[in-house]
Structure 1
Amino acid sequence: MQLPELPSLVAAVGDTGLPPFTAAAIFTRWNLTSLIALGLVVSAALYLYGVHRLRERGDHWPPGRTVAFVAGGLGSLAAVTVTGIEAYDTTLISVHMVQHMVLSMVGPIFLALGAPTTLALRTLSAGPRKALLAVVHSRYVRTLTHPLVAFGLFIANPFALYFTGLYRQTLEHPVLHEFVHFHFIVTGCLFFWPLLGLDPLPNRWPYPGRALLMVLSVPFHTVLGLTIMQSRELLGGDWYPNLGLSWHDPAADQVAAGGILWAGGEIVSVTMLGILVVQWVRQSEREAKRIDRALDRAEAEQARSTAGTITNPDVAARPETDAG
């Protein structure tokens, strides 16, 4: 007996079982068994343990960094990988695009602001700390975190994913699909960490250069989003039509996905540029205070030297002698 082809089988059975995507689906369809979910739990545990170690020995760690890393960074990544967002990410291209934006932009920004490398350096013993510093300053890491290299990877990856056969492969193979999620996170961290991060990384550009690089990334999101919106071909080929969802229009959903990428990219980029400007202003203020303290110390030292000269009896009471 010959089995019917996939489109015929789907048409005979009807919808694949997934109801229309709603806000309720985000909170009712959980997936806690993925490798990314495990990685998020381990990362949160290690970070909180490091903060606990610092507090035990009386050292201060800014609460804002903990909130940024755990709630903002890991929390946003969890929101799109273990909830209903993940359940629909191979069903709706628009949902996938939201996931893409969070994994590659939102999550990495908050992770960078959490300064996990600095936390590790302050809590690790001498041996592991030396090994971590060797990795951070290795040639491999210096190359990947160079702003121009990271910028190229961050910009080129979406074009390579969506306009080749790779995207269809990620829909068909769960392992590759999860690897792409991890890849989004890594490339996002490589791009944002040297620009916004508080950790001691090599290749850190001055603030004007960082701001320029951030501004240059905005047009690429616009071009990619508009290209997806205007494309006559569906991303993933016949994958979405073959799902047979009566409540889903793949073409309209792709237009929405391009709009999400376009608008979301600009919103996140402008927000990040604002954070960068705030950091720049604060760094300038710290530098001005440092210069003021140095000048004050120099003036105090000069005043003490002058006072010592005046009060020195050998100098003050020395009789004037006649030249002749």
Structure 2
Amino acid sequence: MTVAAAAEDLPRFDAGALVSQWGLAPLPLVVTVWATGLYVLGVVTLHRRGDSWPVGRSIAWGIGMLAFYVATSSGLAAYDTVLISVHMVQHMVLSMVVPLSLALGAPVTLALRTLPRRPRGWLLAVLHSRLAKVLGFPPLAFGLYVISPWALYFSGWYEASLRSTYVHEMMHVHLVVVGALFFWPIVGADPLPGRVPHLFRLLLTVMTLPFHAFLGITIMGQKTLLGGDWYPSLHDGPMAAWLPDPLEDQHLAGGILWAAGDLVGLSFFFVLFAQWVRASMKEAEREDRRLDRLERQERLAAAQTRPPGSAEAE
């Protein structure tokens, strides 16, 4: 079945439609169940052997998987080919909220702590491979992250995603993967290639904000419809009574991209800043302990080299 067939008739989009138009898409359901189940299994394995795992990481992973499932199976998925504004909300969730939340969940660290010896060795081999180092190179990930949306909306790719189920699903995969390549090394929770100092992480985050804003403003100012004649053609069908003007909806989509990109980007900036402060405090504590050890060693050495009877003479 093509996307066109799936978008033939839907009720007016509102908050209730997000729930009433929920579907059971096989691929998102399988991915969500397996990814959540394996993560829970890892946490349970740690607790059974007496090790702890930060609750915040588990919450972050849960938020990421929930956001992924909502974006690909709720009313957002049902209307993402009907309203470009809804598609843009889905786009931002898949490209920013999902990768950031999953990265904060530190699944690679969890896997390294719970996998048997041989699978752990395979995972370490992948992490140290040349491909992983190339994909984890921050400037490359940054370039992919900021260029991909422009390539999506100002080429034939977006219209193809409206007319083909396969291209549509691959677009979702692309958004998550590119977002993961950008966010995962920057978050720094997992031992991945491409980890950089905190200052550079903050710089990369700040640099993404103008690109999202400029793209959003560009879409808001467009007089040409994205997706060709796809959205106008829906006005000839049963949804014509409630569908908004395609150009007005496109302008709304640009505003969503602009505002959501800045909101999530600034939130991520504060997450990185908090990580930097916490890492600096831990480094200061380690330095204090090192200096204390050196001082104790110097006192012990001085006591051992002091001539006999000097203490009594004093």
Give the CA deviation at 1:317: 5.3
SS at match of 1:316: coil
Number of the residue aligned with 1:308: 304
Matched, 1:130 2:130: no
Number of the residue aligned with 1:140: 131
Instruction: After TM superposition, list the pairs within 5 Å mapping 1:83-94 onto structure 2.
Output: 83-94=74-85
| Cα distance in 2 for residues equivalent to 1:242 and 1:197 | 46
- Could you tell me the TM-score, scaled by structure 1's length? 0.90
Instruction: After TM superposition, list the pairs within 5 Å mapping 1:32-71 onto structure 2.
Output: 32-70=24-62
Instruction: After TM superposition, list the pairs within 5 Å mapping 1:110-129 onto structure 2.
Output: 110-129=101-120
Give the CA deviation at 1:308: 2.6
| Cα distance in 2 for residues equivalent to 1:49 and 1:229 | 45
Aligned 8 A contact 1:36 1:182 in 2: no
Which of 226, 238, 246 does residue 241 from structure 2 map onto? Answer: 246
The structure having more radius of gyration, on CA atoms, is 1
Aligned 8 A contact 2:188 2:195 in 1: no
SS at match of 1:233: coil
Runs of 4+ in structure 1 deviating by more than 4 angstroms, as ranges, are none
Which of 162, 165, 181 does residue 171 from structure 1 map onto? Answer: 162
Listed one character per residue, the Cα deviations across residues 45-93 of structure 1 (whole Å, up to 9, x for unaligned) are: 00000001000101110111001011x2111111211111110010000
| Cα distance in 2 for residues equivalent to 1:157 and 1:31 | 28
| Cα distance in 2 for residues equivalent to 1:240 and 1:305 | 82
Give the CA deviation at 1:127: 1.2
| Cα distance in 2 for residues equivalent to 1:237 and 1:18 | 21
Number of the residue aligned with 2:264: 268
Number of the residue aligned with 1:3: none
| Cα distance in 1 for residues equivalent to 2:242 and 2:32 | 33
SS at match of 1:60: coil
Residue identity (%): 50
Give the CA deviation at 1:37: 2.2
| Letter aligned with residue 153 of structure 2 | Y
Which of 220, 237, 247 does residue 229 from structure 1 map onto? Answer: 220
Aligned 8 A contact 2:161 2:171 in 1: yes
| Cα distance in 1 for residues equivalent to 2:60 and 2:246 | 36
| Cα distance in 2 for residues equivalent to 1:285 and 1:309 | 36
| Letter aligned with residue 115 of structure 2 | L
Number of the residue aligned with 1:285: 281
- Structure 1 segments unaligned to the other structure (5+ residues): 1-9, 319-324
Listed one character per residue, the Cα deviations across residues 103-144 of structure 1 (whole Å, up to 9, x for unaligned) are: 000111111110000000000112111110110121111111
Matched, 1:106 2:97: yes
| Cα distance in 2 for residues equivalent to 1:34 and 1:167 | 23
Matched, 1:194 2:194: no
Which of 195, 204, 207 does residue 204 from structure 1 map onto? Answer: 195
| Cα distance in 1 for residues equivalent to 2:188 and 2:198 | 12
Aligned 8 A contact 2:185 2:195 in 1: yes
- Larger displacement relative to structure 2 (246-255 or 50-59): 246-255
Number of the residue aligned with 2:290: 294
| Letter aligned with residue 259 of structure 2 | A
Listed one character per residue, the Cα deviations across residues 273-303 of structure 1 (whole Å, up to 9, x for unaligned) are: 1111000000000000000011111111122
- Larger displacement relative to structure 2 (286-295 or 299-308): 299-308
| Cα distance in 2 for residues equivalent to 1:170 and 1:88 | 14
Matched, 1:79 2:70: yes
Matched, 1:23 2:24: no
- Larger displacement relative to structure 2 (60-69 or 76-85): 76-85
| Cα distance in 2 for residues equivalent to 1:195 and 1:33 | 31
